[in-house]
Amino acid sequence: MTKSNHNRPQASERIEPPQRLSIGRIVGAHGVRGAIKMRIWTHFPERIPTLTHVYLDDDPTPRRLLRAQLQGDIALLQLEGIVTRNDAEALRGAVVRIDRSQAAPLAEDEYYQFEILGLHVVDEEGHSLGNVVEILETGANDVYVVQRPDGSELLLPAIRSVILEIDLERQRMVVRPPRYYEEE
């Protein structure tokens, strides 16, 4: 099954990186004193207790994080001003976000998805192939969906033999696309 691309940016469009990153969704209240249960989405849950503030949905007002406790794929959070179970229940479904500057640092050859989306893709000879418009998580490795200028798609496995260079400053990815040969 392939995903529809009708909501994807066109190959010529630049994708603006988000100012905030989603780390989870509020799934309910915990106890009677306003604690909230958040389903963890981040790959770095150990950072949650070190946060000083979070944002809810698209609200630009930071919420001070008073306490955070991890329990498997759930984080119990206490936010300033949320003092009753009803206050906490009213937040059910809200997406919890952090400033991009609070994101965990990655190893030299690792990237956040928002950094990859929108990169201009060229082959080893410098020929333009299009822009990364989607990242498919397959389990074994990610697959970058590149929309070509003619509207067709090129699928590139995110492996070292294919992805030769990622240059975030130049917003460019150099690749060696897999070649498919017809039988003779």
Which CATH number fits the domain that encloses residue 118?
2.30.30.240
Domain region containing 170: 113-175
Looking at the structure, do residues 95 and 24 belong to the same domain, yes or no?
A: yes
Do 67 and 77 contact (CB within 8 A), yes or no?
A: yes
How far from chain centre, in Å, is Cα 98? Answer: 12
Same domain, 30 and 71: yes
Domains held by the chain: number: 2
160 within a domain of the structure (yes/no): yes
Distance set, CA 157 to CA 19, 115, 147, 148, 164 (Å): 27, 17, 14, 16, 12
Instruction: Say whether both 119 and 94 belong to one domain.
Output: no
Instruction: Give the span between the Cα atoms of 105 and 149, in whole angstroms.
Output: 33
Of residues 182, 162, 183, the one with CA closest to residue 174? 162
Give yes or no for residue 175 having a pLDDT over 90.
yes
- Is the same domain home to 37 and 91? yes
pLDDT in tens, 162-172: 999 999 999 99
What does the pLDDT read at residue 49? 96
Task: Please determine, for residue 7, whether its predicted confidence score (pLDDT) is greater than 80.
Answer: no
pLDDT at 74: 97
Question: Based on the domain organization, do 78 and 126 belong to the same domain?
Answer: no
Same domain, 86 and 133: no
**0.75 surpassed by pTM:** no
Residue from 121, 118, 122, 152 nearest 135 by CA: 118
Q: Tokens standing for 102?
A: 């609070």
- Sheet with 120-123: list strands edge to edge: 153-157, 142-147, 128-137, 120-123, 172-175, 163-167
139: alpha, beta or left, given left = phi > 0 and alpha = psi -120 to 50?
A: left
With CA atoms as reference, report the closest residue to 97 among 27, 48, 136: 48
1 belongs to a structural domain: no
Does residue 182 carry a pLDDT above 80? no
Boundary-marking domain end, from 99, 132, 152: 99
CATH of the domain at 33: 2.40.30.60
**Residue 123 sits in the same domain as residue 153:** yes
Q: What is the DSSP letter of 146?
A: E
- pLDDT tier, 113 (very low <50, low <70, confident <90, very high otherwise): confident
Provide DSSP, 17-52. PPSEEEEEEEEEEETTTTEEEEEE--S-GGGGGG-S
